[in-house]
Amino acid sequence: MITHHAVILFVLVPVAQRLRGELGDFFAGCIFTAELSTPFVSLGRVPIQPKQQHTLLYKVNGILTLTTFFVCRIRLFPFMYWSYGQQQGLSVLQVPFHIPFYCSVANAFLIAPQIYEFSLLCKKASQLFDAPPAKKDG
C-alpha cells in the first residue's frame, strides 16, 4: 500500500503535471479528492489483526469506508463530467466529446479498479452485516 502511494506521489503526479501543462486543474483536483477515503480503508485493516471485526468501531468504520469510497471514488467521475458540462453549457453525455480523448480514457482506467474494489468492499460488508450473531456459551 505504501509503495502504491509513493509511486503515485513521486512518479504519476509529476508526469501528469508535466503532460497536462496549464490544463485540467479542476479534474486533477477532483482526482486528489479520491484520497479522502484512504484513512477509512486503512483504519479498517487495524482491527483485523487482533480479530476485532465484531466491534462497533469496525462496523462504523465500514459504513464510513463504503460511504466515502462511493462518494469520493465512484460518484466523483460523473460529478466531474456534470460540473464541466455546467461550466461549458453541455449535457453530461456531450462532455466526453468536448474534452481530449485521452482524458476520458484516463478516467476510464481510473474508475475501473475503483468499481471493482467497491464491489469487493460491498461483498465484505454484506458478509459482515449478514453474519448470524455469535453464540455465547453459558
Convert the pLDDT of each residue in 42-66 to its tens digit: 777 776 666 777 778 888 888 898 9
Q: Kindly give, in sequence order, each residue whose CB lies less than 8 Å from that of residue 116, ignoring residues fewer than 6 positions away.
A: none
Amino acid (one-letter) located at 138: G
Convert the pLDDT of each residue in 81-107 to its tens digit: 999 999 999 999 999 999 888 888 988
pTM above 0.75, yes or no: no
Mean pLDDT estimate for the chain: 82
Q: Kindly give, in sequence order, each residue whose CB lies less than 8 Å from that of residue 71, ignoring residues fewer than 6 positions away.
A: 37
Residue for cell digits 469510497? Answer: 69
- Spatial separation of the C-alpha atoms in residues 83 and 61, rounded to whole Å: 30
Residue 94, classified by CB atoms within 10 Å of its CB into exposed (0-12), middle (13-18) or buried (19+), is: middle
Convert the pLDDT of each residue in 26-43 to its tens digit: 777 787 888 888 888 877
- Containing H/E element for 45? none
C-beta atoms surrounding 58 within 10 Å: 16
Asked if 72 and 33 touch (Cβ cutoff 8 Å), the reply is yes
- Is the CA virtual torsion 71, 74, 79, 80 positive or negative? positive
Q: Among the residues of 34-88, which ranges form H helices?
A: 38-43, 56-69, 76-88
